Amino acid sequence: MRIVKLTENEKANILENLLKRSPNQYGTFEDTVNEILEDVKANGDKALFAYTKKFDGVDITKDSIRVTQEEIDEAYTKVDEHLLEIIRKALKNIKEYHEKQVRYSWFDSKPDGTLLGQKVTALERVGVYVPGGKAVYPSSVLMNIVPAKVAGVDHIVMTTPPGKDGKVYPVTLVAAKEAGVDEVYKVGGAQAIGALAYGTESIKKVDKIVGPGNIFVALAKKAVYGHVSIDSIAGPSEILVLADETANPRYVAADLLSQAEHDEMASAILVTTSMELAEKVSEEVDGFVKELSRSEIIQKSLDSYGYILVADTMEEAIDTANEIASEHLEIVTKNPFDTMTRIRNAGAIFLGEYSSEPLGDYFAGPNHVLPTNGTAKFFSPLSVDDFIKKSSIISYSKEALELIHTDIEDFAKSEKLTAHANSIAVRFEK
């Protein structure tokens, strides 16, 4: 891996390079995506069937688009019992973590006859998009469905492209069933996002769409935002390890590569105060790349978006981590908890040398759907909050309103909104 002495100029160049990976930079695909969405909006199932034939090479009909109970039962026979046991253990951890996020309605009444509050209501229908093809991520299925289920969403609908055999990959289907999905449809790509956003004869419109996907899916989610809510426009995966001289270089190298193997646009960055650690990590990375199965993808990722940055001070290293605002941030310093208190921007923070990033991907419980491309400066991980909405509650007695009605009328008149003022005044006419 390349080792770079950290300067303000280098930091600016690296940030500019990382931002090139954002889905917002791929406007050349927007016309194609919009054409697909308009077709689905106008022609419903007919468009879905045609695009599935075109892109996936599979014939689906109104009778086969929805996964049947028989197909779910068949999927269970094809999933190894040991893997099913692991999925259930992970599911338990994810569920317990998200149950601690549940919000409740609240009301605050006062003796003067005022009652204010907030009513928390789960969304009615949510669509979960799951990639197909080479990407088989049952962990992502759990991470998207479980918080919706915990929030109390009435109906959870999953869409995923079918394989060449016209079926959903068994472990994807089993994970969805274990997590509590209500319906599964064999359709993927931008056309699936259109179906969830607008509705077709077979797939009823949802209120929100969550889940990862390729650039076409990301742009489709961006385009339908407003018709429905979405979780985020996710970019390629990324990891930043913040380390000092106490870190184990072999562990650090392994953790960096855990994200570099996702795809050629993934980013892996080490920020350290130790040149000795930097050089040792670089050597370990070279050794691992020769051994790992996805070495070609890893190498391309490292060549384009991999960096070892050497800072003069830990303060400078922390400032850089905050500026990059990585999706995954590992802190491997002498006192990681102290370092963590100075971190402002990160999707998920992993503390200490035995809290490697895959722990969060699969098993610990916190959600692995995280903000990318610097959006951790203003976005949060997917949570139960993403599947609820809040309504304000206001109730005043006549006596309570009488005490302040002239204040409201005067405020409204200052904005030249006399009908607003009148709405209050008529209640106190002589």
Residues annotated catalytic, as ranges: 327-328
CA distance 246 to 352: 11
| C-alpha atoms less than 13 angstroms from C-alpha of 189 in its C-beta half-sphere | 22
For every residue of the chain, which 3-state class applies, written as one string?
CCEEECCHHHHHHHHHHHHCCCHHHCHHHHHHHHHHHHHHHHHCHHHHHHHHHHHHCCCCCCCCCECCHHHHHHHHHHCCHHHHHHHHHHHHHHHHHHHCCCCCCEEEECCCCEEEEEEEEECCEEEEECCCCCCCCHHHHHHHHHHHHHHCCCEEEEEECCCCCCCCCHHHHHHHHHHCCCEEEECCHHHHHHHHHHCCCCCCCCCEEECCCCHHHHHHHHHHECCEEECCCCCCCEEEEEECCCCCHHHHHHHHHHHHCCCCCCEEEEEECCHHHHHHHHHHHHHHHHHCCCHHHHHHHHHHHEEEEECCCHHHHHHHHHHHCCCEEEEECCCHHHHHCCCCCCCEEEECCCCCHHHHHHCCCCCCCCCCCCHHHCCCCCCHHHHEEEEEEEEECHHHHHCCHHHHHHHHHHCCCHHHHHHHHHHHCC
What is the per-residue burial (b if ≥16 Cβ within 10 Å, else e) of 23-53? beeeeebeeebeebbebbbeebbebbbebbe
Burial class (CB within 10 angstroms; exposed 0-12, middle 13-18, buried 19+) of 168 = buried
**Cα atoms in the 13 Å half-sphere on the side-chain side of 32:** 12
